Structure 1
Amino acid sequence: MSADRAEPRVLLLTCGPLDGPETPGTELARELLLTVPDVEYAWFRRWWGRARNAGDAPGGQSVSVVSREGAPSAAVRLQILAAAALSARRAGLVHAVLPVGPGFAAFSRLWPRVAGSRPVLHTVPAAVDPAALAGCRPLGRTVALSEATAQQLTKAGFGPVRVVNPSVRLDLWPVRRRQERTPPMVLAIGDGGTEEAMLSAGVAARAGADFQLVLALAEDGPGGAEGPRPPEDLLRGIAAREGLLDMEVLRHVGDLPGLLAAADVLLYVPRRMTGRADVPPMVLRALATGRPVILSDLPQFSALSDTVLRTPAADPHHTGHLLRQLLDRPWWWDRVAERGRATADARFGAGRSAAAYTRLYRELLG
């Protein structure tokens, strides 16, 4: 951070190893590793198993935990807590990138006893269930990814909560020309809102829209590790009922950039965001790539303003007709796509996020 001082050592505390499945928090932590300059990070990785990009991250020191799949199970969380308690004493700052969910209240009371008095910066990467806030104590300075979550945490006694927008690496997600494919592809994220997306697609199809619906449900892809995925026979039953004759279900995504490039529209219409990233990485990747996004009109998405097309939550009739109109109007598609890429560049570039966290590190390290 300063040419005449040694790089500060920062422990990245996450609920799972960074080379495991994408969950709220791990993707942000990977971005910090790769974009924040002049910091020596310590971070958690799997002892064995198939590695992800974080395993090749430059600099820093990885701390191994025993986990084949990398999912944040109870055993993995306990290992990370024990290792973090030791590593924190050798760090100048702990940057916890942890959701506030079940068990956080107990953790927030235990952490100061086991880790000492090191300063803590806590980024809350996901929307919070109000019931989870009972008995919680702030770990230190708190950061949220949306104004909605920041206001919720402030009211719960976390003090003034700063908002730092999530980021997307524009160099890794360049603009891609719209592919000339018939029928066009509508890509739906399986991180909540799967049935709502299918009901909306059914409305669009019955209104005359011709498209292929692709449900990306892969645990190590866009949806992260957010619990069990719907069984395929259930999804096929809904598709048959809704008249969706051209549907593909993906439980593993090998080429995510290629999938986004092939898509014409990203559809993400959950009823609520509890436990999910305030702005899912897939949404930012779609905007950066130049793909229009249809989102539920939820408060966590306020930073996207008019960059996306908003639709009332749990209103498949409105969503379906919005989708049909977007597919039928190329000029509107172009306008929304251009606006999305411009907003990704102006508000969600990795440099803006890295600069914000660099300033926070300086403040806490003195």
Structure 2
Amino acid sequence: MTADRRRVLLFTSHPIDARDGADKELSVAIASGLPEFRFTWFGRVGGRGREPLSGGRRIPLLSPSGMPGRAERAQAAAWALALEPRSDLLHAVMTIGPAFGAFTRIRERVLGGRRRPALHTVPAVEDPARLAGVTPLGTTVALSRSTEQMLCDAGFPDVRLIPPGIDLDRWSARPRPAGRLPVVAFAGHYDPGGGVDESVAALGSVASSGRPLSALFLMRPRPGQDEDREAERLRERARAAGITDVVVQGRTPDMPAAVAGVDVLLLPARHLHGKADVPLTVLEAMATGRPVVVSDLPQMAALGSAATRVPAGDVAALAGAVLDLLDGPGRWDAMAQAGLDLVRREFSADGMTARYAALYEELLAPRAASGATEAR
């Protein structure tokens, strides 16, 4: 094994050139920031020309939707088992869901001694109850202290904390728009409990109080959801709640511009259900200089006082937090600056990739030493 361009199999549950999401964004940021390694990654059949990574080896997956469905997961798992023995390091970036435990058992039986050092970045855990009895892939990386503790409590032996990072060149601070209605945005999924229902109710309450605003919903469907139908239902619910100026937007080609056009971003989730522990959209809004209002889930503690946190499910508190920001220029300025400072200090892509580079070297060191001994 040579010291340069060591081979890393980037194991994701779907093609990373086909959809947005925390696992894709983290995968691309890590691989882009570590040019000294040669990555093998999963792309979509017919997706040439949209490569998120400029180098490495692209493995095509059949994926009509580009989302992590059962077929995509099965293909990715099969390719991972075939390619891992030809790699120097396996780096999985995927949420721990129902099928994860089965894959780790199959990997152990199929590969045995041909397994390579493995690293698993866990954007989120869908159901903590499923952690019981799960065999880790290897060293596990959590994005937040709450998930780090959860994994340790479940018996994962080697858990590290590396917060997510975002590209601060792409997500740079922009001035607050002026001369129009304030725009309050929610970004997320249509799932109950994800915060969209609370956002509709709270913004309806704000609008009904006589405070004019525009509501923007930046939505991503789950596999199997009819995006057009879900969007129309959301518009109807927003209007019924008293929001007269409402926009529901799906996949957005220029998210930095979309986020720069809002005044406040909301993510009042009652549970994250597979979203990143520290949602990247929240960090991106903070990097743009936009105050955020989130629920007080344990994972959100990583944001400290740089975000306004309200009790999960408390619509009145959410509406009050929005009004405080819209009607208090000093409050808006202070929270915008606090978020900007936090992201620059703790959530940069450069800082994240430096920590992964050190971890890669740590995991590869025993294999390098073994190779040197054999060469002698």
Normalising by structure 1, report the TM-score: 0.92
Structure-to-structure mapping, 1:135-150, within 5 angstroms? 135-150=133-148
The one of 90, 104, 107 equivalent to 1:108 is 104
Note the C-alpha offset of 1:5. Answer: 2.2
The one of 24, 27, 45 equivalent to 2:25 is 27
Q: Distance between the aligned counterparts of 1:359 and 1:232, measured in 2?
A: 44
Partner of 2:371: none
Note the C-alpha offset of 1:98. Answer: 1.6
Q: Distance between the aligned counterparts of 1:310 and 1:127, measured in 2?
A: 21
The one of 20, 38, 41 equivalent to 1:40 is 38
Q: Which moved more, 1:314-323 or 1:106-115?
A: 106-115
Note the C-alpha offset of 1:114. Answer: 2.8
Q: Distance between the aligned counterparts of 2:327 and 2:110, measured in 1?
A: 59
The answer to whether the aligner puts 1:211 opposite 2:249 as a matched pair is: no
Distance 1:111 1:51, change over 3 A: farther
Partner of 2:74: 78
The answer to whether the aligner puts 1:67 opposite 2:66 as a matched pair is: no
What letter is aligned with 1:189?
A
Show CA shifts across 1:167-195 (max 9, x none). Answer: 10001111111111321111111332111
Structure-to-structure mapping, 1:190-201, within 5 angstroms? 190-191=188-189, 192-201=194-203
- Percent identity for Structure 1 against Structure 2: 40
Note the C-alpha offset of 1:83. Answer: 1.4
What letter is aligned with 1:292?
P
The answer to whether the aligner puts 1:239 opposite 2:241 as a matched pair is: no
Note the C-alpha offset of 1:233. Answer: 4.3
Partner of 2:286: 287
Distance 1:60 1:149, change over 3 A: same
Note the C-alpha offset of 1:25. Answer: 1.5
Partner of 1:349: 348
Q: Which moved more, 1:18-27 or 1:166-175?
A: 18-27
Q: Distance between the aligned counterparts of 2:63 and 2:224, measured in 1?
A: 17
Q: Distance between the aligned counterparts of 1:347 and 1:358, measured in 2?
A: 17
Q: Distance between the aligned counterparts of 1:113 and 1:299, measured in 2?
A: 36
Q: Distance between the aligned counterparts of 1:268 and 1:341, measured in 2?
A: 17
Q: Which moved more, 1:196-205 or 1:288-297?
A: 196-205
Q: Distance between the aligned counterparts of 1:51 and 1:300, measured in 2?
A: 36
Show CA shifts across 1:281-320 (max 9, x none). Answer: 2111111111111101111111111111111100010110
Show CA shifts across 1:230-253 (max 9, x none). Answer: 724432342233211111111232
Measured on the aligned residues, the alpha-carbon RMSD in Å equals 1.8
Distance 1:123 1:234, change over 3 A: same
Q: Distance between the aligned counterparts of 1:273 and 1:17, measured in 2?
A: 22
Note the C-alpha offset of 1:161. Answer: 1.4
Q: Distance between the aligned counterparts of 1:231 and 1:324, measured in 2?
A: 28
Q: Distance between the aligned counterparts of 1:128 and 1:143, measured in 2?
A: 16
What letter is aligned with 1:109?
R
Q: Distance between the aligned counterparts of 1:111 and 1:181, measured in 2?
A: 58
> Aligned with 1:110: secondary structure?
helix
Distance 1:167 1:227, change over 3 A: farther
> Aligned with 2:30: secondary structure?
helix
Show CA shifts across 1:89-142 (max 9, x none). Answer: 111110011211111111121122334321100111114412221331111011
Can you give the 5+ residue segments of structure 2 that lack an aligned partner in the other structure?
366-376
Note the C-alpha offset of 1:48. Answer: 0.8
> Aligned with 1:142: secondary structure?
strand
Note the C-alpha offset of 1:59. Answer: 2.5
The answer to whether the aligner puts 1:161 opposite 2:159 as a matched pair is: yes
> Aligned with 1:158: secondary structure?
coil
- 4+ residue segments displaced more than 6 Å: none
Q: Distance between the aligned counterparts of 2:42 and 2:233, measured in 1?
A: 37
Partner of 1:183: 181
Partner of 2:95: 99
Q: Distance between the aligned counterparts of 2:209 and 2:223, measured in 1?
A: 33
What letter is aligned with 1:13?
F
Q: Distance between the aligned counterparts of 1:344 and 1:39, measured in 2?
A: 26
The answer to whether the aligner puts 1:329 opposite 2:328 as a matched pair is: yes
Note the C-alpha offset of 1:226. Answer: 6.4
Does the CA-based 8 Å contact 2:235-2:247 persist in structure 1?
A: no
Does the CA-based 8 Å contact 1:49-1:67 persist in structure 2?
A: no
Does the CA-based 8 Å contact 2:67-2:223 persist in structure 1?
A: no
